[in-house]
């Protein structure tokens, strides 16, 4: 698998990140242009992450890369942009307090959240939150992805294709039962969802590893489609929300349509769309990391300073986030990782590269 093979996957990741942004904004403020199934982007992220992690690290694990070193590399990759999101959350809370608005977290809960979330650790189960990352709520997915990474490297010696298939089958069956019972796949961000969240990451992440292994072995079916189809398919699947019982649409996406999407994207080199796909991949993690605290900040400013139609504000906000994502990727992320790596990894840090995938 080459960098060119990852181009379309990076584009899909960018589309999914944009879907998450619109799914999290208030339609009364930002308009009705929302990804109605944007929460399913999480399952697509986990699937893509399995593919990319296996591609990037399998050979290094075989050569003896220690688990501790791997986790340090992952921390260095994720922390700088996550820290920007936490800082923006604190700014938003401060402005709300100045304006006399109710803030959450506050008091002792804010202290514990800052102490733990500031280090990219989950907040203890205190107060009324029950959320691991009240200072940057979408970061719950990073926690479970890192847990999946940890289990993968610790159990790598047992990760034969047969065992991976067994794990995907078991976790998939458990996840399917949970979705049918809940009627949705939209769970995982509260501590009470912890068990369900573990299965929510285990199934797609393991499936992604299987896809990567089979692709490297030349054993995947050739599902080539016109360039751009995987990107369009990702957008359509995340923006629509059919009314189906028992979470059938969520099941169809997570168990059938997303895997097919990735299988069609893997053989793609990007072609003329490669630069756009590369850009979408590079801004995907920055906008995911900063959008949650920025949206209320922008909504607050728009409500107090000027009146604009919701759709106009929504597209302007999306444009601003995309610009900020590109700016942070270009001028902040790689330099910050370069400074952080010697502190976390010691004398021989993993070299930070601009645009390196967050997965």
> Has residue 194 got a pLDDT over 60?
yes
Tens-digit pLDDT profile for residues 15-74: 999 999 999 999 999 999 999 999 999 999 999 999 999 999 999 999 999 999 999 999
Where are any strands of DSSP class E within 18-142?
none
Torsion of CA 88, 92, 94, 100, to 10 degrees: 180
The pTM is what? 0.94
Model pLDDT, residue 307: 75
Question: Is the alpha carbon torsion for 312, 313, 318, 324 positive or negative?
Answer: positive
Give the integer Cα–Cα distance in Å for 355 and 171: 32
Q: Which residues contact 206 (CB under 8 A, 6 or more apart)?
A: 50, 164, 167, 168, 171
| Residue (of 268, 189, 254, 220) closest to 2 by Cα position | 268
Tens-digit pLDDT profile for residues 175-185: 999 999 999 99
Task: Give whichever of 218-232, 260-274, 286-300 has the largest mean pLDDT.
Answer: 286-300
Q: What does the pLDDT average to over 345-353?
A: 60
> Residue 118: how many CA atoms within 13 Å on its side-chain side?
8
| Residue (of 31, 74, 21, 24) closest to 284 by Cα position | 21
Give the integer Cα–Cα distance in Å for 49 and 339: 25
Segments making up each domain of the chain, as ranges:
7-345
The encoded tokens of residue 92 equal 């938003």
Q: Which residue has the tokens 């992450």?
A: 49
One DSSP character per residue, 113-174 reads HHHHHTTT-PPPS-TTT--S-TTSGGGHHHHHHHHHHHHHHHTGGG--HHHHHHHHHHHHHH
Whole-angstrom CA distances from 36 to 23, 25, 169, 249, 277 are 6, 11, 28, 12, 23
Query: Mean pLDDT, the chain, as a whole number?
Result: 90
**Is there a contact between 339 and 61 (Cβ–Cβ < 8 Å)?**
no
3-state secondary structure of 205: helix
Tens-digit pLDDT profile for residues 94-147: 888 887 776 677 777 888 889 999 999 998 865 545 889 989 999 999 999 999
Whole-angstrom CA distances from 230 to 3, 9, 45, 257 are 17, 8, 14, 11
Model pLDDT, residue 101: 74
């Amino acid at each position: 698998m080459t960098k060119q093979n990852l181009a379309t996957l990076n584009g899909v990741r960018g589309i999914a990140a944009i879907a998450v942004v619109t799914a999290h904004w208030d339609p009364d403020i930002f308009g009705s242009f929302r990804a109605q199934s944007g929460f399913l982007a999480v399952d697509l992220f986990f699937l893509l992450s399995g593919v990319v992690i296996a591609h990037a690290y399998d050979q290094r694990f075989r050569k003896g890369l220690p688990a501790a070193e791997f986790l340090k590399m992952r921390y260095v990759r994720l922390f700088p942009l996550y820290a920007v999101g936490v800082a923006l959350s604190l700014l938003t809370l401060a402005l709300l307090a100045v304006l006399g608005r109710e803030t959450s977290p506050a008091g002792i809960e804010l202290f514990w959240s800052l102490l733990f979330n500031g280090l990219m650790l989950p907040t203890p189960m205190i107060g009324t939150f029950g959320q691991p990352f009240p200072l940057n709520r979408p970061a719950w997915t990073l926690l479970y992805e890192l847990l999946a990474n940890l289990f993968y490297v610790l159990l790598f010696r047992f990760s034969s294709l047969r065992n991976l298939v067994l794990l995907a089958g078991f976790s998939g069956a458990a996840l399917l039962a949970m979705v049918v019972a809940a009627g949705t796949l939209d769970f995982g961000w509260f501590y009470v969802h912890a068990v369900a969240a573990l299965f929510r990451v285990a199934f797609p992440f393991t499936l992604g590893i299987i896809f990567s292994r089979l692709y490297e072995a030349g054993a995947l079916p050739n599902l080539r489609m016109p360039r751009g189809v995987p990107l369009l398919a990702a957008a359509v699947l995340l923006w629509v929300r059919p009314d189906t019982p028992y979470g059938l649409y969520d099941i169809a996406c997570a168990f059938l349509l997303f895997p097919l999407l990735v299988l069609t994207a893997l053989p793609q080199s990007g072609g003329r769309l490669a630069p756009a796909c590369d850009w979408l991949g590079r801004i995907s993690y920055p906008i995911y990391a900063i959008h949650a605290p920025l949206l209320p900040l922008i909504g607050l400013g728009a409500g107090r300073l000027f009146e604009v139609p919701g759709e106009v504000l929504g597209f302007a906000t999306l444009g601003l986030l995309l610009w900020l994502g590109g700016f942070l990727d270009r001028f902040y992320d790689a330099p910050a990782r370069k400074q952080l790596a010697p502190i976390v990894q010691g004398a021989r840090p993993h070299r930070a590269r601009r645009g390196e995938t967050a997965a």
